[in-house]
Structure 1
Amino acid sequence: MESNLSGLSVFKKQTSTLLLSLALAACAEGPTSSKQLATQGLLSGELSPNGYLAVIGSVHHGGSFWNTKKKERLYDWNHKSGEYSSIRASAVSGDGKRAVTCQEKDLVLWDATNGKSLQFWQAADRIEAISLNQDGRRALLGLRDGTVNYFDLDRGMAIHSFKHNAPIRATDLSEDGAVGISAGDDNIAKIWNLKTGKEQYALSLNNQIKTAAISDSGKLAFTTSQREDALVWDTKTGKSKFKFKNRYINYTSADFSDDEKYLTLGTFQGVISKFNIKKGTEVKTWQAEPRQAYGGASSKAIIDVIDQKSNVIALTSDGMLEVFK
């Protein structure tokens, strides 16, 4: 009987959270403009820090690079001529001049100013997550075997190599590239000092970590795992700065504001929320609109989100670029 009551309690919590999520979505504002970037959805995608550029990996038509301000495709990027690549990890540099696309173990570095490939490298295992520094010369790679490499993309060599005990699901870099975060299926988020090659802090959670982000200064981190509070925490001490109590909401993307006062989060359900970190309050909520009401194109999980102060820009899993006021 205790087991049944416990299950009923969990069901009630999940149901109430779902109803709350639906209520928030019902009163949230939709996009002011949108553009279809892929016909069958996205495997991966990342916006530049200013939100004006995007690299994506589509389900059936390979990789491409976009000017989001003009809503214009600039280049089609695939790893082999005449074939569409399945780009499951991608990233753009802070200055928008370089980008990377990853298919299994293979990584291609692209010149985003002219669309030409610069380098081709192969990792030891499948690349699950990747982040670029400001000028796109270095990358933080997370691999399926739990390896994290701080990699020199021009010379094709690892500057530092770190380790988790399970596949990596998320990586991110501070603006100056001096601090990095990696998180994975071993339920641990690790902060790395990339100047010294030393572990700065490790935060253990009870479940797999799917989403992680670091602020521009490298002082704050965000992590979220299923059925646990999502956290904003100090990267040197692990001290919690802000805790999100909605344990059944699946956060899929995160972006700290430039001044680190706000955090914008995207969810699997397509809800985007902006929070004041210091006050612990929600500032505004938006709701992404799917291309279709049902079927594959009804998916609207937020793959990446950028707060531009005046606008919020998001990439959704159904292949849409959406802009919110």
Structure 2
Amino acid sequence: MMRIISHSVTCLIVISLLNGCFFQTQADKTWPLAPEGSTSLALSRDARFALLYSKQQHLQLWDLEQNTLLAKLGIQDPEQNIISLMRFSDNARFAITATQTNFAIWDLAWSQSKGLWSISDGLIQDIAISNNGTLVLLGLSNGKAIFIDLVTGRRLEFLAHQEKVNTVALSPNGKYALSGGNDHNAYFWDTSTGQIIHRFQHDQRVGTTELQRDGHLALTSDSGNNAIIWDLSTGQQQAKLSSWHRQLIFSSARFSDDGSKLATGTPASRLMVWDTSTGSLMDSYEVAMLKDVRPPRGVVYDAAFHSSEMVVSASSAGVVQAWQIDE
């Protein structure tokens, strides 16, 4: 009888693991920045600052450490188009925000816009910005990845993709780019020449890319179950993320500063932390969800490491949460 009970308990544990039921739901700290929900929400690399946009509050900058609203930046354009994309520069001095057809650069030290630029030859799918706030990378629906120097006006069109460019990432100094698209390819390339350094092939469309800030590692993830960490010095695979989930579809990704960990968010309220050397899952969390919709849902717009022991999530519920990492 005891053997049967033990076997049953073991089966229940295995089934729970296979269904992804073991995850943390209680955050260590919570910041409810936009109770009505947000259409975009970004975190600085160290998770000190948050930038959010909602229809009610428009664009706001928050200091999470002080729990203070630093600035009400307002609307992006006269038509009050919804801001759907935003990203901090690596040093958190600047930010880029975008609608489907235009983008703005913000000097966060002065809480003011540095300008608004329109894009006419495709819809904006993803954005990135350099540390000096003058170098911008856009992924467009027409298959182009466009690198722009806003000071000199130089515009480089990267045309290697054959279909829509879903995702882009830019090194902090703006010298290197990573782009991924519906053509099942991700490219790591030089922004000064447009020359391809590495090509990463996938079986399905690439939806997420991310660069580690020191340029050692890259993540490319497709719409199936292939999420791969690459060693950029060799172009070879370092690890493949290993999970019981049938699909690993990400809405955000961020490496820790030292590259030892990777945080990923999903459109289904899940934040995960991975070991980049092995691809194994270290921790999983369920983030805050919008309660006034059925079923309740929450997209993880962004994630960042506050320290080696703490990861922070930002969700479409307009809520930022800090989570302890169990190492």
The answer to whether the superposition gives a TM-score over 0.5 is yes
Q: Which moved more, 1:133-142 or 1:274-283?
A: 274-283
Matching of residue 103 in structure 1 with residue 96 in structure 2: no
Q: Which runs of 4+ in 1 moved over 4 A?
A: 16-19
The DSSP-based 3-state class of the residue aligned with 1:278 is coil
Give the structure 2 partner of residue 10 of structure 1: none
**How far off its partner does 1:296 sit?**
5.9
Q: Is contact 1:300-1:316 (8 Å) kept?
A: yes
Q: Is contact 1:274-1:283 (8 Å) kept?
A: yes
Amino acid at match of 2:125: E
Task: Report the count of equivalent residues.
Answer: 305
Give the structure 2 partner of residue 257 of structure 1: 256
Matching of residue 137 in structure 1 with residue 128 in structure 2: no
Q: Deviations over 1:176-201 (max 9, x none)?
A: 32221111222211111224331111
C-alpha change, 1:297 and 1:140, in structure 2 (3 Å) is farther
**How far off its partner does 1:171 sit?**
1.1
Matching of residue 92 in structure 1 with residue 91 in structure 2: no
Distance 1:192 1:205 in 2: 17
Distance 2:153 2:51 in 1: 22
Distance 1:145 1:297 in 2: 34
Give the structure 2 partner of residue 299 of structure 1: 297
**How far off its partner does 1:128 sit?**
1.4
Q: Which structure 2 residues correspond to residues 24-173 of structure 1 after superposition, within 5 A?
A: 24-25=22-23, 28-58=24-54, 61-73=57-69, 74-80=71-77, 84-124=80-120, 125-158=122-155, 160-163=156-159, 164-173=161-170
Percent identity between the aligned chains? 23
The DSSP-based 3-state class of the residue aligned with 1:38 is coil
Distance 1:131 1:80 in 2: 19
RMSD value over aligned CA atoms?
A: 2.5
Distance 1:314 1:324 in 2: 8
The DSSP-based 3-state class of the residue aligned with 1:181 is strand
The DSSP-based 3-state class of the residue aligned with 2:39 is strand
Q: Deviations over 1:143-181 (max 9, x none)?
A: 1211111111334441x2202222222111223322211
Structure 2: gaps spanning 5 or more residues: 1-13
Q: Deviations over 1:30-65 (max 9, x none)?
A: 211222233443333321111112223335553322
Structure 1: gaps spanning 5 or more residues: 1-15
Q: Is contact 2:89-2:172 (8 Å) kept?
A: no
Q: Is contact 1:140-1:173 (8 Å) kept?
A: yes
Give the structure 2 partner of residue 176 of structure 1: 173
Q: Is contact 1:174-1:218 (8 Å) kept?
A: yes
Distance 1:58 1:208 in 2: 30
Distance 2:56 2:153 in 1: 29
